[in-house]
């Protein structure tokens, strides 16, 4: 087989790998779980291995190195440096692996799949998947089914379509990126009738799928993106009637849908209810906490994926849940990576926008203007650029970039848009030479080895954690958790779960209650060493010390928990419980009232304990003799 033919097969293989990633990630619950993400790691490692072979097979392989590439490379290096400085290594490692995966994916698509045929095929694959997701979401919406395959979704999502994602907002994020691309193909592309009919059908189904997600952020971002798309096309006289007719049709259909469907009206009414993240008041409170967090580490942030770890310290009383992310990707980047990381990503975004604008100025002049000559290049540039605009808007109120399927799709669109710069000039082609090929091969090999090792380790850990969830006995549960802890000794959640398991066993009583309590305490201590910000492990360790009668030690640990999470109603409740154990009724009353002041609803333990404490205080007052006069 000659080198040229082998190179073509390698390119086709890379096309298959990227297609598999774009298909698998959204169908596998968004690629969020470790088992599915390990598959994405494996696919990318395979892609890098193929690229490494292609480097040496192709007779004249050139890198496409646009201005955006420098910013992406700088952020990847910065991410590795921040990982090595992170306080909680396990969490930072998982985040940096995600960052590296997206970075390599960008370079892989940009440098190997820049042919128009390859990009059109990949976009058709993404549109096909999005159409299937929309049909599934429509079924969920009409039938009231609250499952994704065999997985039960949270009750809060009932009545909303999410396709194969768990959260409907994330399906909205996926569809809003592809809907403009489908419309751009219908309007601008020179494809044959069958291809344009398919794109039109995909656009209709994605619009319906977007509607049934009942995602307020999705509606806003998709609406603004379509206005942006229309604004660009309205500059060209030949498209004005069609664009205006399309806008009116979509507005009427969307308005009628919203008027007729009670679930949509109910969700918008809930926007004004305080005390939860569905409320319009909840987001600003969460953003304020992220802003205060960033101000304490302005330059470099608190660390990769460390927002969730530090959040309890900055928790507002209005948010008693665990948000995981900021629900604003920009503030999330600022809190985790600081001004340096934010600046690098902002530079990449600016370079992408500049490149897209420059490319559009070139492709729109093909022939004698858009009116006289349709263009596949123009469709790809305008469609992918508008999809990224939609994501940029949605990222203000949600965390779509934390979902691997959506982050991969955004990366693909960015590579597609940025890759079209090659039509404006030849100066972005770089010959790596022998030295460059050696360096790239070494980087590929290191990444493949690390991704392979980490993917296998993560998959094994997830497998044993899943066995723990399905355990039918204490022995099976403990064995599965201990195996998971041996496979991944840096994950603080596993020893915390082991500690909680043994704590519950101890609290059931029995002749070995002290030994099991000591076992629980040791596991909790290990969890606290691995993650010093873990309020759960520290709180449960303090409760275990109270159970063992070591109240002074428990008191000091409760003080630490209170400093870690001062506005948590449950922490205040358990501090009141601690004071009850040592008979300090007045202090118990103060903490229980504090718990109820933070959250009076769904806090029945605090109500019950406070009733007991008030009764004891009344009894003490009754036993205390009244003071006599002089």
Clarify whether residues 338 and 239 are in a common domain: yes
Clarify whether residues 286 and 415 are in a common domain: yes
Look up the CATH number of the domain holding residue 552.
Answer: 1.25.40.10
> Last residue of a domain, which of 423, 457, 477?
423
pLDDT tens by residue, 563-580 = 999 999 999 999 999 999
Clarify whether residues 409 and 557 are in a common domain: no
Clarify whether residues 500 and 418 are in a common domain: no
Average of per-residue pLDDT across 440-465? 95
- The chain-wide mean pLDDT, for the chain, equals 91
pLDDT at residue 243, rounded to an integer: 77
Strand partners of residue 369: 367
Clarify whether residues 293 and 195 are in a common domain: yes
pLDDT at residue 265, rounded to an integer: 57
Clarify whether residues 121 and 269 are in a common domain: yes
Q: Kindly give, in sequence order, each residue whose CB lies less than 8 Å from that of residue 21, ignoring residues fewer than 6 positions away.
A: 40, 43, 44, 105, 408
Strand partners of residue 152: 147
Domain assignment of residue 570, yes or no: yes
Domain assignment of residue 468, yes or no: no
Domain assignment of residue 24, yes or no: no
pLDDT at 275 over 90: no
pLDDT at residue 175, rounded to an integer: 98
Domain assignment of residue 438, yes or no: no
pLDDT at 370 over 50: no
pLDDT tens by residue, 181-191 = 999 998 888 88
What gap in Å lies between CA 306 and CA 82, rounded to an integer? 11
pLDDT tens by residue, 529-550 = 999 999 999 999 999 999 999 9
Among residues of the chain, what percentage have pLDDT more than 90? 78
Clarify whether residues 287 and 194 are in a common domain: yes
Residue pair 239/194 in contact by the 8 Å Cβ criterion: no
pTM recorded for the entire structure: 0.94
Clarify whether residues 367 and 504 are in a common domain: no
Residue pair 54/11 in contact by the 8 Å Cβ criterion: yes
Quote the domain boundaries for residue 593. Answer: 493-623
Domain assignment of residue 349, yes or no: yes
pLDDT tens by residue, 71-112 = 999 999 999 999 999 999 999 999 999 999 999 999 999 999
Strands (E), 489-591: none
pLDDT at residue 74, rounded to an integer: 98
Clarify whether residues 531 and 617 are in a common domain: yes
Around Cβ 12, how many Cβ atoms within 10 Å?
A: 12
Of residues 619 and 625, more confidence is placed in: 619
Domain assignment of residue 48, yes or no: no
> Last residue of a domain, which of 399, 423, 447?
423
HSE-up of residue 108 (Cα within 13 Å, Cβ side): 31
What gap in Å lies between CA 458 and CA 374, rounded to an integer? 48
pLDDT at residue 369, rounded to an integer: 46
pLDDT at residue 627, rounded to an integer: 60
Average of per-residue pLDDT across 424-451? 92
Clarify whether residues 497 and 403 are in a common domain: no
Q: How many domains does the chain have?
A: 2
- Under DSSP, the state recorded for 148 is E
pLDDT tens by residue, 188-212 = 888 888 888 999 999 999 999 999 9
């Amino acid at each position: 087989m000659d080198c040229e033919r082998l190179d073509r097969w390698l390119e086709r293989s890379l096309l298959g790998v990227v297609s598999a990633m774009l298909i698998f990630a959204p169908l596998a619950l968004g690629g969020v779980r470790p088992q599915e993400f390990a598959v994405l790691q494996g696919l990318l490692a395979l892609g890098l291995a193929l690229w490494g072979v292609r480097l040496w097979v192709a007779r004249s392989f050139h890198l496409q190195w646009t201005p955006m590439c420098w910013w992406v490379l700088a952020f990847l290096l910065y991410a590795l440096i921040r990982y090595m400085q992170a306080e909680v290594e396990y969490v930072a490692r998982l985040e940096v692996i995600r960052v590296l995966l997206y970075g390599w994916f960008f370079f892989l698509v940009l440098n190997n799949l820049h042919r128009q045929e390859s990009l059109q095929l990949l976009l058709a694959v993404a549109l096909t998947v999005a159409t299937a997701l929309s049909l599934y979401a429509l079924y969920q919406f009409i039938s009231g089914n609250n499952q994704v395959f065999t997985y039960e979704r949270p009750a809060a999502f009932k009545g909303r379509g999410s396709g194969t994602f768990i959260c409907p907002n994330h399906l909205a994020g996926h569809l809003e990126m592809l809907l403009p691309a489908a419309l751009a193909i219908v309007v601008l592309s020179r494809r044959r009738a069958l291809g344009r009919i398919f794109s039109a059908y995909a656009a209709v189904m994605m619009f319906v799928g977007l509607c049934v997600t009942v995602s307020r952020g999705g509606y806003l971002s998709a609406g603004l993106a379509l206005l942006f798309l229309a604004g660009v096309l309205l500059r060209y006289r030949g498209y004005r009637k069609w664009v205006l007719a399309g806008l009116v049709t979509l507005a009427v259909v969307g308005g009628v849908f919203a008027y007729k469907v009670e679930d949509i009206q109910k969700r918008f009414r809930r926007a004004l209810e305080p005390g939860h993240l569905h409320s319009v008041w909840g987001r600003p409170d969460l953003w304020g906490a992220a802003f205060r967090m960033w101000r304490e580490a302005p330059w470099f942030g608190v660390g990769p994926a460390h927002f969730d770890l530090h959040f309890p310290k900055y928790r507002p009383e209005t948010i008693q849940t665990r948000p995981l992310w900021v629900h604003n990707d920009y503030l999330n980047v600022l809190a985790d990576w600081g001004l340096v990381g934010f600046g690098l990503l902002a530079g990449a975004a600016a370079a992408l926008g500049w490149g897209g604008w420059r490319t559009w100025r070139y492709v729109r002049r093909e022939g004698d203007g858009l009116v006289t000559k349709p263009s596949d290049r123009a469709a790809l540039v305008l469609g992918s650029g508008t999809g990224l605009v939609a994501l940029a808007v949605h990222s203000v109120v949600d965390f779509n970039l934390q979902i691997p399927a959506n982050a991969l799709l955004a990366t693909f669109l960015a590579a597609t848009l940025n890759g079209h710069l090659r039509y404006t000039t030849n100066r972005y082609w770089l010959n790596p030479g022998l030295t460059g090929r050696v360096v790239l091969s070494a980087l590929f090999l290191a990444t493949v080895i690390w991704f392979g090792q980490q993917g296998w380790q993560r998959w094994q850990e997830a497998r044993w954690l899943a066995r723990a969830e399905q355990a039918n006995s204490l022995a099976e549960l403990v064995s599965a958790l201990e195996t998971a802890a041996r496979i991944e000794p840096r994950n603080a959640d596993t020893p915390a779960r082991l500690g909680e398991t043994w704590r519950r066993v101890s609290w059931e009583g029995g002749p070995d209650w002290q030994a099991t309590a000591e076992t629980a305490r040791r596991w909790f201590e290990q969890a606290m060493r691995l993650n010093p910000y873990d309020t759960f492990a520290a709180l449960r360790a303090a409760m275990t010390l109270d159970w063992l009668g070591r109240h002074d030690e428990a008191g000091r640990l409760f003080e630490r928990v209170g400093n870690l999470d001062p506005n948590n109603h449950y922490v205040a409740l358990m501090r009141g419980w601690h004071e009850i154990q040592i008979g300090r009724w007045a202090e118990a009353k103060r903490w229980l009232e504090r718990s109820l002041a933070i959250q009076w609803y769904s806090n029945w333990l605090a109500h019950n304990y406070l009733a007991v404490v008030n009764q004891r205080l009344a009894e003490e007052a009754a036993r205390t003799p009244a003071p006599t006069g002089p």
